[in-house]
Structures are given as C-alpha cells and as structure tokens.
Amino acid sequence: MELLKGVHVIETYATTTLLVDDRLVLVDTSADERPAKILDYLAKLKVTPRDLSTIFITHTHPDHVSGLAAIKEDSPAKVAAHRIEAEFITRRKTYDGPPGVQRHPGTQVDVLLEDGQMYDGLKVVFAPGHTRGSIALLDETRSLLIAGDSANNEAGLHPMDDRYNVDAKQHRESIKKIATLHFENAIFGHGVPIQGGASQKIAELAKRL
C-alpha cells in the first residue's frame, strides 16, 4: 500500500519499504531468496530493480536480507548498511547472535554507513542491540522513521522479543535514543505503521523501559 505520497509499504514477512520520488530507494529485501512480492510490487509501479538507486539493509537477519542477492543481481543500486553489519551481510564474518547461522547469499555492501550520516535523502540512526549494527532511517522531508527492528508494533509498541536480540539492554537504550527524535510517521519491520504522533508514542514506550 501507499502509506504516504511516495512511501510504499510492501507486506513481506518483515516489511519492505519503497520510496518513490526523483529516485527509487528500497529498504530491506524480505525473507525470500526469490523475493516475488517485492518484484511484483515494483512491476505494478512499472519499475524494475534496474531503476533503484539505493538498497538499504537495516540489519542482517534473514527476514530482512535474504532477497538482497536476487534484487541486486539485475540492479546497479548501491547497497548501504552500517559498517558493523556489512561484514555479516557480505558473509565475510559469521554473525554471532540469534537466531543462529546466517544462510543468505553474501552480497557486497557498497556504502558503509555511520550514525548521523545522510545518504540518498535518509539520515542514519545507529540503533544496535537487536543486532550489532542495526539502524533505523529518518526521512526528514516526510517526517518518517523507517524503524527496521528497532521496535515492534505487532500488538502495540514494545521492544523486539529478546530471544532475537543480541543485547537486550542495548536494544532498549536504542529505543530511548530514537525517542529523542521527532517524526510524525513510522514504519516497522514487524507490525502496523503509525501515521501521526509516532515519535510521541515511541517516547511513551521509552518511559516504560
């Protein structure tokens, strides 16, 4: 669905976000090594992976990165991820946290991101704890946070299940950090998006942690 003008939410197991304006940006690439839902959605918009400018990966978990190799196969898009996470996405280093051994095809990361960096219109928010190099992305022009798995909104806002967090305390500190930002809208890797008052709701969650 189109959540906001030019902001498309593709409902894979872990949400994929597509930003459409003078460039096409994809955030996360689903659990499927052949990501049919993403490719079908692009086709409906009459675009292809060749039209993408950047593919951001918020973190290395299989439900966010498994489709990357297939999408990148036919695309000149730059792959962007936090420098810590890049080692796991490329498979140069074995990820040492839950849910266990990573089986996605290793893919080159072209752009190594740092906290606070602006890249292709999005501001990087380093939010470790779910994985070692997790990020969220802030689209200030749309007042939109693409949260990745920095929080969960499947049954109200709460942290991710600690069975899947590499560092539960750090994960909660990252939620508190995000709560200091201002954004009206938020998209989560798991759960329904929030339209209106999103940062206030995350601030309320942070107070409970």
Superfamily (CATH) of domain 2-208: Ribonuclease Z/Hydroxyacylglutathione hydrolase-like (3.60.15.10)
Please give the helix or strand (H or E) that residue 20 lies within, else none.
Answer: strand 16-20
Average pLDDT score over residue span 3-7? 96
The 3-state secondary structure of 88-141 reads: HHCCCCCCCCCCCCCCCCCCCCCEEECCCCEECCEEEEECCCCCCCCEEEEECC
pLDDT band at 33 (very low <50, low <70, confident <90, very high): confident
pLDDT band at 118 (very low <50, low <70, confident <90, very high): very high
Residues 71-91 have pLDDT tens digits of 999 899 999 999 999 999 999
The answer to whether the CB of 174 falls within 8 A of the CB of 127 is: yes
Write down the mean pLDDT value for the chain.
96
pLDDT at residue 101 in the model: 75
Strands 185-187 and 194-195: antiparallel
**Is the predicted pLDDT of residue 38 greater than 90, yes or no?**
yes
Average pLDDT score over residue span 58-76? 94
pLDDT at residue 24 in the model: 97
